[in-house]
Structure 1
Amino acid sequence: MSRTRAAHPGRLPRRLLHRPLLAAAVAVAGAATAFAAAVLPDGNGLPAGRASPAVAGTAAGPSAEDRLLHDAEQRLLRDCMRRQGFTYQVFALDEEPGVEAFPYVLDDSAWAGRHGYGSALRGQRAARARSDPNRAYFAALPPDRKARALAAANGPTPRGLSTDLPGGGTVERSGQGCVAESQDLLYGDVAAWFRASTRVEALERIRRGRVTADAGYRGPLARWERCMRGAGHPYATPAQTRAAALSPTRPLGTAREVALALAEVRCGAASGLAATARRLDAHHAAALARTYRADVEQWERLRAAALPRARRITGEPPRG
């Protein structure tokens, strides 16, 4: 595993540029989420997570560092809940990203050929969530024990940590409970981690909004629409194609889903939309990284400092 480097002032962290912000180790903060094993954000977005590659089209799963930090936090959470008299089972990150890894347009023909728009992946994740032992354990607790379990995991009140978001708004969560304790032990300062991770995650959403609002995005998008109509798919945007493909009430079926996804990939290339998305995404990512340099560098520093602790917690040998 390569050593995490401090963020360059002209770019967002690589993890945010190339895949969803996998916020399982960040977003286990709301009521009952410590007991829901599937805490990966959906369509964030990523996240966390995420979700989205700023350089669209790299359907990479979580990195080794993502997995290490996630696994370490899960073990700390399990141990803390045990001390509070409750059972918690650790869970692994999903290795295969969903269509959220392509926020602008699908442009990976191999991924599209395997998964279409990922409806089967969504079904598998939903099935895992339904069979999650943490969910079942929590559901079986009597009401008074449920309340104590939630307080043990997430603190007695959703107050204590607060940060302003880039672009406006404020986010709060508890600074107490096992989630906060686990992050404090892993990252060394739960308040600093909450602020940095929350603000950096928000930059991903801002970046995507800036890309799709950019005047340079409109021409390729119009060409993409004409290409798709010419192929018999009357959708105005990639968001419409995935909404149709992932409709819970009118599923396309595997063959039609894959055919639609491959048509989107072809039109993304022919129209220039995929290349434009990559260029604009890199441009806006660099601009945001410059503006919010302190947050990005703090996020990187905290992750880098957490890696040796995570190796000790999980028993992974140190890297040279």
Structure 2
Amino acid sequence: MPLLKVGTRAGLTALALALLAVTGTVLWALHDNTPPPARQSAPQSGPGAAVLRSRLPFHPLLHAPTATSRRVHEARQRLITRCMTKHGFRYQAPPVDTKASADAGSGPAQFGIDSLAPPDSAARPGTQPAERPRGQAFDRALYGDKQRKFSARNKEISVSRPATGCVADAERRLLGTGGPRRDLTLRLRLDQGERDALSALGEDSAFRRATARWRSCMRQAGFTTAKDPQQLAAALHPDTPLPQQPAARADMTCKHATGYLKRAYARLAVLQQHWLDANPQPAAEWRSLRRQESEAATNVLK
């Protein structure tokens, strides 16, 4: 179920799969002594940003859509539809974006832009939920009493979910009586771990060297104001296509020329794994909940 965020922002795949994919990259990153290029060179071949994101240890926990997660979504919507029918309402479940579900590299870009191509969502019409509010009675049946919610927070965001109504009933059916609250608490704990690893990256010497190479390349291209790709991305014009913005083109050229994204994601993978090693319980409980949810979904869909 999507998070209902109050604040800034708020997969059932075995963590071992991601760790196997990360191992080779991590070992390479620990011995990164590549000198900065004297000038911009031809783009390096190698995995794209989506593949690099898929190798992060947090990816299978929070971002990887799978056949299991689609099955859970289908079961949840079936339960909600049945519940709404009992209340006398016709509920039509929002469609699943199968293209997004098939994207192994889904998840947030961490280092500014990673492509000049527009996102897929901009290239095709947006998919709107088929369900539309039909008055207070419909909303109350679906989401329950507005005054009865449960919340959780981490250091960055606070999130609320309905405690009553058909949506809440479906979550309890899939996760158990106390499961929805625990699910939200764990999700925010893992979200904080992902944020902490990204924050720690600023003190990582190998990452700082990679950023220095990128900055040197950008200076040679005539762009001197941005200290890192995130700052440059924040200054881009959102209404102008990226290929039409010289700063965006230079950014991608320098990322390719210096191997920046490969180095940055490799170092982030190391720090994410450090956090998970130091905090094993949230991930273990999260995977346990996902297994329970999957088993319950299978029973619902029989």
TM-score band, normalised by shorter chain: 0.5 to 0.7
Q: Distance in 2 between matches of 1:168 and 1:106?
A: 23
1:187 aligns with 2:175: yes
Q: Distance in 2 between matches of 1:79 and 1:160?
A: 22
What letter matches 1:66 in structure 2?
A: S
Q: Conserved in 2, the CA contact under 8 Å of 1:268 and 1:274?
A: no
From 266, 272, 275, the counterpart of 1:285:
272
Q: 1:252 to 1:151 in 2, by over 3 A?
A: same
The Cα of 1:190 is off from its aligned counterpart by: 2.0
From 72, 75, 88, the counterpart of 2:75:
72
Q: CA offsets, 1:257-295, max 9 Å, x none?
A: 9955742541450xx55324412x233222322343222
1:155 aligns with 2:181: no
Q: Distance in 1 between matches of 2:234 and 2:197?
A: 22
Q: CA offsets, 1:13-44, max 9 Å, x none?
A: 949x99xxxxxxxxxxxxxxxxxxxxxxxxxx
- Aligned counterpart, 2:27: none
- Aligned counterpart, 1:128: 126
Q: Distance in 1 between matches of 2:139 and 2:254?
A: 44
Q: CA offsets, 1:177-225, max 9 Å, x none?
A: 2222222112222222222223223322332222245454323212112
Q: Conserved in 2, the CA contact under 8 Å of 1:225 and 1:236?
A: yes
Structure 2 unaligned regions, length at least 5 = 1-11, 23-52
Q: Distance in 1 between matches of 2:270 and 2:96?
A: 33
Q: 1:260 to 1:83 in 2, by over 3 A?
A: farther
The Cα of 1:299 is off from its aligned counterpart by: 0.5
Q: 1:224 to 1:159 in 2, by over 3 A?
A: farther
1:239 aligns with 2:230: yes
Q: Distance in 2 between matches of 1:310 and 1:201?
A: 25
- Aligned counterpart, 1:203: 193
Equivalent residue runs for 1:94-105 within 5 Å: 94-95=100-101, 96=103, 101-104=108-111
Which gives a bigger RCO, structure 1 or 2 (Cα 8 Å, sep 6+)? 2
1:225 aligns with 2:215: yes
Q: 1:78 to 1:225 in 2, by over 3 A?
A: farther
1:174 aligns with 2:173: no
- Aligned counterpart, 1:63: 66
Q: Distance in 1 between matches of 2:83 and 2:18?
A: 31
The Cα of 1:298 is off from its aligned counterpart by: 0.9
Q: Distance in 2 between matches of 1:261 and 1:282?
A: 22
**Which of these two proteins has the greater Rg computed from alpha carbons?**
2
Identity of aligned residues (%): 21
TM score, norm. by length of structure 1 = 0.61
Q: Distance in 1 between matches of 2:190 and 2:214?
A: 31
From 86, 91, 108, the counterpart of 1:87:
91
Q: Distance in 2 between matches of 1:169 and 1:262?
A: 31
Q: Conserved in 2, the CA contact under 8 Å of 1:158 and 1:172?
A: no
Structure 1 unaligned regions, length at least 5 = 19-51, 316-320
What letter matches 1:183 in structure 2?
A: E
Give the secondary-structure state (helix, strand or coil) at the position aligned to 1:133.
coil
Q: Distance in 1 between matches of 2:129 and 2:156?
A: 36
Q: Distance in 1 between matches of 2:180 and 2:258?
A: 42
Mean alpha-carbon deviation: is it higher for 257-266 or for 219-228?
257-266
The Cα of 1:303 is off from its aligned counterpart by: 0.4
Q: Conserved in 1, the CA contact under 8 Å of 2:151 and 2:158?
A: yes
